[in-house]
Chains A and B, each alone.
Chain A
């Protein structure tokens, strides 16, 4: 039996300790917003937050999150994520959309750590793969969301 917080609510599953968090989220808990892309932490489609930091859930055993806080793209009360989602729509970022949950979670973690990232900061933090090639708009949307925070401050 494994318990953890998922988007602010307690959840409980009864699976093998080495089942990756990705498959717990998707197949056991029905949170399909987090995507499977490679299974080897290379593409970032499965990016979620563990205690606020970005992690790749396809290689993270569920045992590593017991008692801790996991946040996914389905979270509703994260102001940074909400602001990024609006910027994503404004810049019409997604194409096929498959990588975008992971992109948004990686960007949310970046802005939490670094509210005004430079292009180099974005390049270093955002190592997710988008096969459709939306990167230029991803970068623009992150800057837009960061700028709104600046104006709001």
Chain B
């Protein structure tokens, strides 16, 4: 988005400015000082002879440095990248650094997560963008949102964790200087030691920690310049990996406790239905079954083994309450979307020039017929309707949570992205104070946004309250995981565009219709804050079209529906990138231009976007010959503070699509762990490719049709393209990497298929007509 001019605010800009001002009054306006995140040693539980220097780092006498990581490790490498930030400034020896999950406390709140709600791009540093960011950061702090999502962990930690490391280092230096009775300025640090430069005397951090902990943390310690980094920017082996190759890694599903019971829910098949009555007589007679209990919207079998509970669950007869959606099908939902697009103009998110007038002008010019200037062409009007379906997250670890409610205390073991909300909701369900809840955070077997939700915590605690104090592990079947998700919204996009006689795009008019993922998630997670108001996340990737088009209108139509929707890896970008990058490709071809050249010519105001696009094209050999039967497609998308371009190379056999190669360029600003960035791009491309080629959740009789991997398939090794990742290196503030690699895949593949077959596929998953 271009920078709003404060003297000429658009209506949307005015609304944002109003919201920013209101938010600012509530939580404060200035950017939160990173020093405020330092915390106190008392924030961090210590074991044995560990000494906490602040709320983040402990040092043992043997020199072991333990870093508290308040973000969930779900494969994105956060248990490595966050300690790298701290350890670099601390000058710790990387081999001495170990990690542990942080407790829940305000200093660990994710202040960058809510930046994703703001409509500002990476190259917008105007006053409104900066003020709004500061308000959002403060809001994250006030809400104590200790969450992992929105590709925000590094963006949140980038400055604070380096400040924490530098501050701890200064205290260790001061402690050594006092012991030696020399000026601190005469000391330096290296590899976990303080060195007195003149005499060469050395003291290890482990020998100094107890003294350092007594000192007052200094303010305003200087941070390293990037050329002084020893860890940041260099590939580091992930600390969580060794336990993930020998079966010892403990996921939520692996929790085992003395006397533990196992629970399998029988859940209402239609969203919104509840239990009317049930008959569990047969189930209760089965081996190992202890109890059958009712909780909201489910009946739950509790047994001495999970398999026995599952066998018995099949024998429970439940009558469900009727809902208005008992007959709703995907066709009904599509019809409602089409009606909404026909009847509603939608909420304006971008309004540059006058797209409606420009479209009328071109239509009139076209109507006069035959007046194309010499060498010019007929003006063209294009319109198109695109669609993307609901999608399930399908993390490989099925939804689960273990809970124990005993003597007024609640203990929860949850593989969750939402630590603070999980703890809060557990206390709510059990009716106890928050300080009576202990939360354990095992590893997460895939999050992708599904584990931002806390429904599994609600269920497990509700069951645990009814089993007499024993711990109970609630674990869903794969079928329930597929059928009781909070889905990526189904979406529809309408486009109209005009190309003038010179081949220039004069107008782009785009409306996107979908349920609001933010409203859906907020209703469940923060119900008091839920409002079905304009949702940036629903239209991200569309309203912020980077291309220079004089008349641009992008509008949001928010649909209602009974299907629960939420955050799915890359959220609105996951469908909007497909819509806008495919339609851009249509315009390029309609104007007789190369799709790369078309984009390049319209990125004059976005040099970072242009550089990423050029890099992907160059590395992919754009324009160079390919074997017969192959073609390339390109796509570009800014998301989560990073910019990603991809070139896909495809062939087809009959109606089967084969993706041979994906070349990916990513500008995520300053890189912390390049190997993790590469891994996230590789994984994101696979995730996006599964959606592009296979992913579709449909509804019949109010319920989800698909159930498991046979009917909700995934990319496997045999489908794999070769993936080449190229990371732009620069000194911009870090962007996210967990999600930005997902959106460009589908349009890159669809555009390649058009180049190859002439079929413009406007619906996901991509389905070719056999030739």
A129 within 8 A of B: yes
Tell me the interface secondary structure of chain B in the complex. loop
- A1-34 vs B, Cβ < 8 Å mask (1 yes, 0 no): 0000000000000011001100100111011111
Cβ < 8 Å to B, chain A residues 85-137: 85, 88-89, 92-101, 104, 122-124, 126-137
Interface residues of B in 553-596 (CB under 8 A from A): none
Q: Which residues of B contact A43 (CB under 8 A)?
A: 396, 478, 709
Known: A36-B253, A37-B398, A127-B716. Contact between A100 and B244, CB under 8 A?
yes
Identify the B interface with A (CB < 8 A). Answer: 74-77, 237-238, 240-251, 253-254, 256, 262, 287, 305-308, 394-398, 443-448, 475, 477-478, 675, 679, 682-687, 708-710, 714-718, 720, 722-723
B646 to chain A, nearest CB (A): 14
Tell me if A136 and B307 are in contact (CB < 8 A): no
A39 within 8 A of B: yes
Complex Cα spacing A122 to B122, Å: 41
Can you name 18 extra interface pairs (CB under 8 A) apart from A36-B253, A97-B240, A98-B395?
A: A31-B247, A32-B256, A33-B247, A35-B251, A37-B397, A40-B710, A45-B396, A73-B247, A74-B246, A89-B245, A92-B679, A95-B679, A96-B443, A96-B444, A123-B718, A129-B716, A137-B682, A138-B717
Cβ A99 vs Cβ B396 within 8 A: yes
Q: Are B305 and A97 in contact (CB under 8 A)?
A: no
Question: How distant is the Cα of A117 from the Cα of B172 in the complex, in angstroms?
Answer: 54
Chain A residues whose CB sits within 8 angstroms of the CB of B395 once the complex forms: 96, 98, 131
- State whether A98 touches B251 (Cβ < 8 A): yes
Contacts of B709 in A (CB 8 A): 38, 40, 42-43, 129
With A and B bound together, what is the CA distance between A62 and B245 in angstroms?
A: 25
Q: Is the CB of B717 within 8 A of A122?
A: yes
Chain B residues lying within 8 Å of A31, measured Cβ to Cβ, are 247
Instruction: Say whether B722 contacts A136, CB under 8 Å.
Output: yes
Given contacts A42-B708, A92-B238, A95-B679, contact A133 B686 (CB under 8 A): yes
User: Which chain A residue has the least Cβ–Cβ distance from B689?
Assistant: A133
Chain A residue numbers with a CB within 8 Å of B305 are 15, 19, 23, 27-28
- Chain B residue numbers with a CB within 8 Å of A33 are 246-248
What's the minimum C-beta distance from A146 to chain B, rounded to whole angstroms? 15
Enumerate chain B residues within 8 angstroms of A26, measured Cβ to Cβ: 306
| CB neighbours of B683 from chain A (8 A) | 95, 132-134
24 contacts between A and B (CB under 8 A): A23-B306, A32-B253, A33-B248, A35-B253, A35-B396, A38-B709, A40-B478, A42-B709, A43-B478, A89-B237, A94-B245, A95-B77, A96-B446, A97-B249, A97-B445, A98-B251, A123-B717, A126-B716, A130-B396, A131-B394, A131-B687, A132-B686, A135-B686, A137-B679
Select B237's contact among A15, A92, A100, A128, beta carbons within 8 Å.
A92
**In the assembled complex, A139 has its CB within 8 A of some CB on chain B:** yes
Cα of A92 to Cα of B250 in the assembled complex, Å: 18
Q: Which residues of B contact A123 (CB under 8 A)?
A: 717-718, 720
Which 5 pairs show the lowest CB-CB distances between chains A and B?
Answer: A33-B247, A133-B686, A95-B75, A98-B445, A97-B244
Given A42-B709, A98-B397, also A124-B685 (CB < 8 A): no
Query: Given the interface contacts A37-B478, A126-B717, A136-B682, does A131 sit within 8 Å of B448 by beta carbon?
Result: yes
A32 partner, pick from B241, B245, B247, B710, beta carbons under 8 A: B247
Please give, as numbers and ranges, the residues of chain A lying within 8 Å of B684 by CB-CB distance: 133
Q: Which chain A residue shows the least CB distance to B74?
A: A96
One digit per residue, 1 when the CB lies within 8 angstroms of any chain B CB and 0 when it does not, for chain A 31-65 equals: 11111111110110100000000000000000000
Measured CA separation A101–B716 after assembly (Å): 16
- Which of A19, A89, A93, A136 has the most chain B CB atoms inside 10 A of its CB? A136
Is B478 a contact of A94 with CB atoms below 8 Å? no
Q: Is A132 in contact with B446, judged by CB distance below 8 angstroms?
A: yes
- In the complex, what residue of chain A is closest to B395 when comparing beta carbons? A131
Q: A19-B307, A33-B248 are in contact. Are A133 and B717 (CB under 8 A)?
A: no
User: In chain A, what residue has the closest Cβ to B445?
Assistant: A98
Q: For residue B289, give the distance in angstroms from its CB to the closest CB of chain A.
A: 13
Complex formed: what's the CA distance from A20 to B240 in Å? 30
Q: Is the Cβ of A96 less than 8 Å from the Cβ of B397?
A: yes
Complex alpha-carbon distance, A72 and B254, angstroms: 15
- Are B710 and A37 closer than 8 Å at their CB atoms? no
CB atoms of B247 and A89 under 8 A apart: no
Please report the C-alpha to C-alpha distance between residue A34 and residue B251 in the assembled complex, in whole angstroms: 11
Cα distance, A16 to B241, chains bound together (Å): 36
Complex contact B446–A131 (CB within 8 A): yes
For B716, the closest partner residue in chain A by CB is: A127
A35 adjacent to B445 (CB under 8 Å): yes
Residues of A within 8 A of B714 (CB): 129, 131
